[in-house]
Structure 1
Amino acid sequence: MKFLGALGLMGALVSASSAGELLRPRINLGTGNVKTISGDRGGYVIDYAIRALKMRRSGTFVRFNGSCDSACTLYLSMPKSKVCITQNASFGFHLPYGVSARGNQVAANFMMKNYPGWVRGWIAKRGGLKSSIAKMTYADASRFLPTCPSEQRGMTVASLSPTRLRGG
C-alpha cells in the first residue's frame, strides 16, 4: 500500500512541478549538470519517478545517447527545454511488472499520466502498453525532441528555435 501511495504523491509532484517548465521551451546546457542516458534498462517506477523529479528540481539537463527502456522512459516527462537526443537514442515501452497486479496497474497509470502527450499518442497508436517492448527510435522521437547540439552541424545551443523544440 505504501508503494501505491508513493506513486500517487509522485504523480501530483511531477505534474505540478513540470507545468511552469513546459511554458519555457529553451535548451540551455550552460554550466549546469548534464546527465547522459545510454544503455539504461530501467528498474522500479518509483525510483525513476523520484530521480526525474530531483533532476527537474535541480535543473539537470538530460542527454539521451542510447537506449532508455522501461521505467527509464519516465525521463521523457522532463521539460523539452531540459532534454535532447542523439541519433543513437531509442526508448523501449512496456507494461510494468513485478509488484502485484494492482501495483503494476497503478505504475502503468502513473507512467501514462506523466508521459507527454506525444509519447501517449505514440503508445496508443501501437495498441497501448503491452508485456512486449515497443521500441521508439530516433526517427520517431526527433519529431518531438530536439537533437543534441553536438549532433547537428553548425548548430549551437543558442540556435535551437522554440518551434524546433515543440516538434514543429
Structure 2
Amino acid sequence: MEEQYAHECHIRDLYAARLAEFRPNERLLKTEHSYNDSRVRGDLRTIDQDGIIRVWEFKISATYDGLGQVLTYTALARMDVNFQRPVRGVLAAFEVQPEVATAIEVLNLGIEVIILPDKLRLAGGVPLTTPTIVVPQIPTLSILLPSTRKDEP
C-alpha cells in the first residue's frame, strides 16, 4: 500500500511539474493540500483562467476508494471557500474501473475523469502492461516414446 502511494506521489509530482503541458489554462496552487479541521489531504489543487478550483486525486487505477476520496476532497474544498467559488473534483488515473466511471456519469457527480498519459508511468515505476509470463512448451510423452496403444502404429 505504501509503495503504491509513493508511486502515485511521483506521478502527481511530475504531472504538477508539467501542468502547463497537460492543462495550459490551469495553474498549480499546491500539492498535498490540507483542509481545515481534517487530517485528509488532496493530492493537487489547481485553478483555471475562469477561477474554477480543482482538487485532484491521483491513482494508478481508480476504483471506489479513489472516487470516495475525490468526493470528500471536493466537499471539504467547497466548505473551505464557503461555497463562494466553484470547486470541481478530478480523478486522474491510468485506468478507471468502468463502474466508477458509470457512477460519476449517471449520478452527475461533477467529477472530471482524466486518463493519465502512459509516459507518466515511468515516473512512478509503473509498468506499461502487466508482465507476460512465458509458459515453457513441455513435450508430451507421445513425442518422446513410441505409442503402446494397439490401435496406433
Q: Kindly indicate whether structure 1 or structure 2 has the higher relative contact order, using CA contacts under 8 Å at least 6 residues apart.
A: 1
Same fold at TM > 0.5: no
Q: Whose radius of gyration is greater, 1 or 2?
A: 2
- Greater helix share, 1 or 2? 1
- Greater strand share, 1 or 2? 2
Range class of TM-score, shorter chain: under 0.3
